[in-house]
Each structure stands twice: as structure tokens, then as C-alpha cells.
Amino acid sequence: MSLIGRDLALKAAEAALQKKAQNLVVLELIGLTVIADYFVICSGESTTQVRAIADFIEHELMLQGVRPIGKEGFNYGHWILLDYGDVIIHVFERETRDYYSLEKLWMDAKTIEFHEDTSDMGGKDKRAVYS
């Protein structure tokens, strides 16, 4: 069974964190627009890391039987967009993300934030979702 909606957004977010994505948020846009139900937004330190994050997200979702409808930005790597229909993933270089400020454009959206926490696990990764 393929992932859809929130589950797809959360799986993409988990994949992004595995490649050390920063400032990751998921915006729930249901009822605000017909563009998508969720935006996954994260940043990388360089165009190389941005590409690596986007490639890994795409790979992990393909393992779940989900392929993007479209993708843009791989040539330059400052802002890569992966379109999965009801979920759109934005992987930014930090400065480009600051410039476009997508979170401010969608400030009415519910935010689901991800935080990495290594406490109480002997240094092992533990990730939490807060909504």
C-alpha cells in the first residue's frame, strides 16, 4: 500500500533528517489551498547537501512505491521541489530559504515540527513529531 497525505509527509521528513536536514517543518495546508495538503520544508548547508537530501527523500519514497509527479531545481540545487500531489517537498539552501520565507506565506497553516533528540538513548537518534 502506497503512502499518502500525512504519512507520506512524515516519511519524507524522516528521510530528510537522515541526511542531516535542518530546520525541518511540515505545514498542514488542508482547507487553505488546493495546491497540496502538506508542505515539507527543510534546509541544507550547501547545494551538494540539498541535492543529497532531495535524492534520499525520493529514494526512500520510491521504496514505499511512491514516485514524484514532478521535480524541479536539481540543476542548481538552491531550491529543489519534489511534487507528490498532496505533498510537496521543498529542500532549500539556507540563504534561499531565508529569502523566500515560505513559512511566512503560509502562516495560517498548522505546523508539525520535527526535533532530533539524543538524550536518554545513549547517543542514539530519537526523533519526535510535535503538532
Q: What is the pLDDT along the chain (131 residues), one digit of tens a residue?
A: 467 899 999 999 999 999 999 999 999 999 999 999 999 999 999 999 999 999 999 999 999 999 999 999 999 999 999 999 999 999 999 999 999 999 888 989 998 866 654 334 344 444 445 44
Query: What pLDDT, on the 0 to 100 scale, is given for residue 115?
Result: 61
Q: Which residues contact 76 (CB under 8 A, 6 or more apart)?
A: 47
Query: What pLDDT, on the 0 to 100 scale, is given for residue 2?
Result: 61
Residue 128 identity: A
Terminus-to-terminus CA distance in the chain, angstroms?
Answer: 25
Instruction: Report how far apart, in Å, the C-alpha atoms of 101 and of each of 4, 30, 41, 114, 119 are.
Output: 26, 20, 10, 18, 31
Query: What pLDDT, on the 0 to 100 scale, is given for residue 4?
Result: 82
**C-alpha cell of 45?**
548547508
Please state, in angstroms and rounded to a whole number, the distance separating the CA atoms of residues 94 and 106: 18
Q: Which residues contact 41 (CB under 8 A, 6 or more apart)?
A: 23, 24, 25, 26, 27, 89, 90, 92, 97, 102, 103
CA torsion sign, 96 to 75 to 42 to 121? negative
